[in-house]
Structure formats: structure tokens, C-alpha cells
Chains A and B, each alone.
Chain A
Amino acid sequence: MRYSYIKPRKKTALSKDMQLLFTFFGVTLFMLFLTYSFLVFKDYRFDQTRAEILQEEIDLRKNIQEMKVKIALIENQNILSERVYTKNTVLKDSIHNLFDLVPGRITLSQAKIMENGLVLYGVTPNKDIYNFMLQAPLRSIFHRTYSSFYPLENGWFRFVSTNYIDEESSDEYK
């Protein structure tokens, strides 16, 4: 027996309104969580990248420090070697000049070259030749010059010439 002329509508647990509500909030929440996940992931990546950058910075700083030490060493090596090379060249010129200073008539038997002095041993035909031709130029170079003569059997003189540069000005002569 029918009591109504219309068909009964099917009743579901989720009505259309509820479906709409769930769809709307479902999409909203999905987007919210997606954004949140993106932010959390980015935060994690930032921290990771930051740590990598910091490590790279530490490595670079260490590397730069090592290179600076090497550069300083090479510069010091260069300065020292230049000093040594110059010293050797100056020494060569000084010895060259010293032997050029000795006149042909005077014969040297020994020369001692010290840091601030020079001792010459040799023979001279007479004292005048020594005084004018050797002692005079030596006096112009050294601050103190001492000479000793020892007569030889042939009339010549053996001489010892000791010459010193005073300590305070020896640097400029070196």
C-alpha cells in the first residue's frame, strides 16, 4: 500500500552540503599542509645549505691561510736570497777592488779579510812606495791603519798592514 505519490529519496550519511563542505575544507587543508610541507622542507634545505656554506667557508679560510703562509715564506725566501746574492756580489767586487789596489811593485803574500778589517802581509821595495801607493788608499777606506816593517836581507821590507773599520760605520762598507 502506497502512502505517497513521490519516490522516497535515498538518504546517505554524506549529504550534498556535507560533501561540498568536505571538498572545500579538504582542498583548503591540502593546500595548507602542502604549503607547510614546502616551508618545512625549505627550512631543512636552508639549514643544510647553510651548513655546507659554512663548511666551505671554513675550508676556504683554511686554504687562504695556508696560501698566505706559503706566500710569506716565498717572500721571506726571496728577500733572504736577494740579500745573500747581493752580499756575494759585493764581496766579489770588494776582493776585486782590494787586489786592484795593490800596486805592481808590492807583492802580497797573505791577505786576511775580516768583517770589519783587513790584514795584508807582503814585501815592498821600500817604505815610501808602500806609504804612497798602498797605505794612502787604505787610509781612505779604513778608519784605523797600522803598519809594521821588517827589513829583509836584499834591502826590501816585509810589511804587515792592519786596517780596521770602526764598528758603528762598518755596515755601510760591507
Chain B
Amino acid sequence: MNISRQNIYILSLSVVLLSFVLIFSFAVLIPNGKEYRLKRADLKKEYKKLKQLSDFSYETSTILQKLQSEHRHIITSFDTPFTANRFEKQHRSYFSSLKLSKLQKKENEDNFSVYEVNTTSEISSPKSFYNFLEAVNKSDWIVAVNFPINFKRDGEMINSSFTMKVYSNNKDKVKDSNTSGNL
């Protein structure tokens, strides 16, 4: 059999190129393709996980917004720094006179800052005090009227003294209220 030199060259080149194609395909392309498929599946899972997380975030955000709108007054009350002057201004109508002492920091309760203020006041009848206790629940702060409460008759008037606990967020937001105006 007589094969020309040129044919031998072509055949050799074909074998070399074919080998390259085969080696490249099996050694590089196929593993890369497998990796691509795996990564695509992984990514799909990641997307699914992200969507679940995103949905959960949306749900949490909705709950938070709902809570914020439902309890706006309470949230604002905890954020509002207590000022004796403003308190007196808001509640002077229930008393003939109202005097608040300086705020004193007390031990935190349930992770909230607690301040105590002593109050001396003069009322014309116990009804004024009942009205005050109703109004204090609607005030700009979270205020608990606390024991001891003392009522003492003084002619036609009743002198009353009691302590109040003011609750606020656990930050040093409450202004140092050294104002104790006598109305």
C-alpha cells in the first residue's frame, strides 16, 4: 500500500487534533459542564432560600408596622423625656396646687429605666384625685402612681402626697428635671 507523505501528514494532524478535542472535552468541558449544572441547582436552592427569607422579612416588617401603629401612643410615651413643668401643665387642672420633686433614678425594671418623683398636691375633693388617676394613663409618659399615698385634711382642702414612677426606654433620655414649679 502506497500512502503519500501528504496523506501521512494529514492523518497525523487529524489524529493530533482529534486527540486534543477528545482530551479537552473529557478533561475540561464535561467536568465544567457538570459543575455548571450543580452550581445552577445550588443557585436555584439559594434563590428559594432567599425568597423564603425575604417573605419572612416582609411578614416581620408587617407585624412591626402593625404593632407600631397600634401602640403609637405607648411607644412615644416611652421615648418622651419626662419634664416636670410639662407634667404640671398637663395635670394642674386636677389640683389646687401641684409640686414635683427632682427626679431620682431607680433600679431598672424589665430593662426599662425607672425614675421616681415625689409629689405634693392640694385637692378640693377625692374626685379630683380619681380624675387625675384616669388622666395619668393618657399622659405623654408611662407614669405609675405609687405608694405611700397620704391624704391629710387641711380645712376645706386635702393635702395629698404620693410618689410616681416614670418609665422610659433604657437610655439616659429623661432630662434632669430640677424644676419643681408651684402652681
Contact = CB atoms under 8 A, between A and B. Distances in A.
Interface of A: 15, 17-18, 21, 25, 28-29, 32, 35-36, 39-40, 42-43, 46, 49-50, 53-54, 56-57, 60-61, 63-64, 67-68, 70-71, 73-81, 84-85, 87-89, 91-92, 95-96, 99, 108-115
Given A17-B7, A39-B33, A74-B74, 11 more contacts: A28-B17, A32-B25, A46-B36, A53-B43, A60-B54, A75-B67, A79-B110, A89-B134, A110-B153, A112-B149, A113-B149
Interface of B: 6-7, 10, 13-14, 17, 20-21, 24-25, 28-29, 32-33, 35-36, 39-40, 42-43, 46-47, 49-50, 53-54, 56-57, 60-61, 63-64, 67-68, 71, 74-75, 77-78, 109-112, 126, 129-130, 133-134, 136-137, 142-145, 147-153, 165, 167, 169
Contacts, number: 167
B151 A71 contact: no
A49 B53 contact: no
A80 B112 contact: yes
A74 B68 contact: yes
B134 to A, nearest CB: 7
A74 B53 contact: no
B145 A35 contact: no
15 contacts: A28-B21, A42-B40, A43-B39, A60-B53, A64-B57, A68-B60, A74-B68, A78-B67, A79-B110, A81-B77, A88-B137, A88-B143, A92-B130, A92-B134, A113-B148
Contacts of B61: 67
A42 B43 contact: no
A70 B64 contact: yes
7 interchain residue pairs of minimum CB distance: A92-B133, A84-B144, A39-B32, A113-B149, A115-B147, A25-B17, A46-B39
